[in-house]
Homo-oligomer: A and B are copies of this chain.
């Protein structure tokens, strides 16, 4: 069995890794760390895991982690960048679910995250873990930076258009909405049920940290800089991201439905819906899947793409396991065959 370590396992991406890995045929969680909950059983904190794990949260210990084949960082940003160098040297391979290695330009990273990058020397070798773009590099990577949740949904939605140069790259718009679990498991008044249930609001309009990550990824595909207006919103529910994407067509001779179906036809976790069916976050709940559909309303020149994921699965822990499977040469969907929970 492959030995897996998880750093920072008390958050929602941590418990989601445990949920997925519980049914993984080849991987076994050998260590899970948490300073705050050290000594506590994981199934005491997360009773859904009772019967699946005998694990106890432990203090972070580099030696124990280095003994793992794969180490996941399910930590807030700025933790991984301090620990990863040592782990790589010790021979571990790392999948970082935080933002630390997602942006290649250390200075740009610092501007958005408000502090110097602790291991900028690793940025060139970190592979951006969007399998649909970078499957081959991921296979050989020692360090994979797992994409953010919004970036996954936005990029998968826009890639086919940008790769073919069909839209104006300077006026892209993403109106995205996320369930509250995206904000993590932190004691904040802002995320109390009494504050966010029965309500909807935009936030981070002047600049969300996922913006540079998305623009970097889209620029790679477009072959040049892009400008995206990105407005995230908070949904009164736990899981799910829905991105509604708007782009101006500069070429409307292409059958877009066919283009999308072709682009993603071989992808196990991207599902282009038949024309006329719209994605809903509930149809991907708990599943490692992005469902996409598109329309050109009124036959005008604006294409609308809708892209949904479960932010904790294809937007985080599921994608991380997918990356692990690729890195280890396993079947890409091992541990990821769960069907979305509907209703």
Task: Using CB atoms and an 8 Å cutoff, list the residues of chain A in contact with chain B.
Answer: 12, 15, 18-19, 22-23, 44, 46-52, 171, 173, 175, 177, 179-181, 183, 185-189, 191-203, 205-207, 211, 227, 229-231, 233, 235-240, 242, 244, 246, 248, 271, 273, 277-287, 291, 295, 297-298, 300, 302, 304, 306, 308, 337-343
Contact = CB atoms under 8 A, between A and B. Distances in A.
A240 B193 contact: no
B343 A271 contact: no
Contact of A238 (B185, B193, B229, B271): B193
Contacts of A18: 339
A339 B23 contact: yes
Copies assembled? 4
A46 B342 contact: yes
Given A44-B277, A236-B237, 20 more contacts: A47-B291, A171-B302, A175-B231, A187-B189, A192-B192, A193-B193, A193-B237, A197-B237, A197-B238, A198-B237, A199-B281, A201-B242, A201-B279, A205-B297, A206-B297, A206-B298, A207-B297, A229-B302, A285-B341, A341-B341
Contacts of A280: 47, 199-201
Contacts of A271: 50-51
B205 A339 contact: no
A94 to B, nearest CB: 25
A298 B230 CA distance: 10
A224 to B, nearest CB: 17
Contacts of A12: 194, 343
Contacts of A207: 297-298
By CB atoms of chain B within 10 A, which of A199, A285, A287 has the most?
A: A199
Nearest to A49: B339
Contacts of A227: 300
A235 B194 CA distance: 11
A49 to B, nearest CB: 6
A195 B19 CA distance: 17
A297 B175 CA distance: 13
A48 B342 contact: yes
Contacts of A337: 23
A197 B180 CA distance: 10
B193 A196 contact: yes
Contacts of A273: 47, 50
Contacts of A240: 198-200
- Of all A-B residue pairs in the complex, the 10 with the closest CB atoms, nearest first, are A48-B340, A199-B282, A175-B175, A201-B280, A193-B193, A48-B342, A47-B283, A187-B187, A194-B343, A180-B193
